[in-house]
Amino acid sequence: DSGVTQTPKHLITATGQRVTLRCSPRSGDLSVYWYQQSLDQGLQFLIQYYNGEERAKGNILERFSAQQFPDLHSELNLSSLELGDSALYFCASSPTRQGGGYTFGSGTRLTVV
């Protein structure tokens, strides 16, 4: 157990639907990062939050949004889902803004049918 909790572990949904992925960071970590791993792809950075504020944005589609709550858990919202959104979504946390060695959760596998 890395200390970073992601739920659900698996999600199957239809095209056009909306889903929410949840992440609880390791205790004491203020930064949360979201990454997407598609088939045969590396980990693509989506977005970073630090203590509730958005800090950096990567290749995140407009259909996707995220937030970090006062208790530091984060949610990634994916809407108008397409088949190509099927991927592993990882959350990671780190203790400082500077990051360094992240701690990753075990991921949420999203399948869009």
Contact between 92 and 67 (Cβ < 8 Å)? no
* Interaction of residue 7 with other proteins, rule CB under 8 A: no
Query: How many CB atoms sit inside 10 A of residue 70's CB?
Result: 7
Would you give the binding string for other proteins spanning residues 28-67, x where CB under 8 A is met?
---x-x-x----xxxxxx--x-x----xxxx---------
* Interaction of residue 97 with other proteins, rule CB under 8 A: yes
Cα–Cα distances in Å, from 29 out to 24, 34, 44, 69?
10, 14, 21, 13
* Interaction of residue 27 with other proteins, rule CB under 8 A: no
CB nearer other proteins, residue 64 or residue 102? 102
Cβ of residue 49: shortest distance to other proteins, in angstroms?
11
Task: List the one residue out of 18, 19, 22, 20 whose CA is nearest residue 7.
Answer: 22
* Interaction of residue 12 with other proteins, rule CB under 8 A: no
Cα–Cα distances in Å, from 103 out to 17, 25, 31, 72, 92?
30, 9, 10, 15, 5
* Interaction of residue 102 with other proteins, rule CB under 8 A: yes
Cβ of residue 103: shortest distance to other proteins, in angstroms?
7
Give me the residues that bind other proteins (CB under 8 A), please: 2, 4, 31, 33, 35, 40-45, 48, 50, 55-58, 90, 92, 94, 96-107
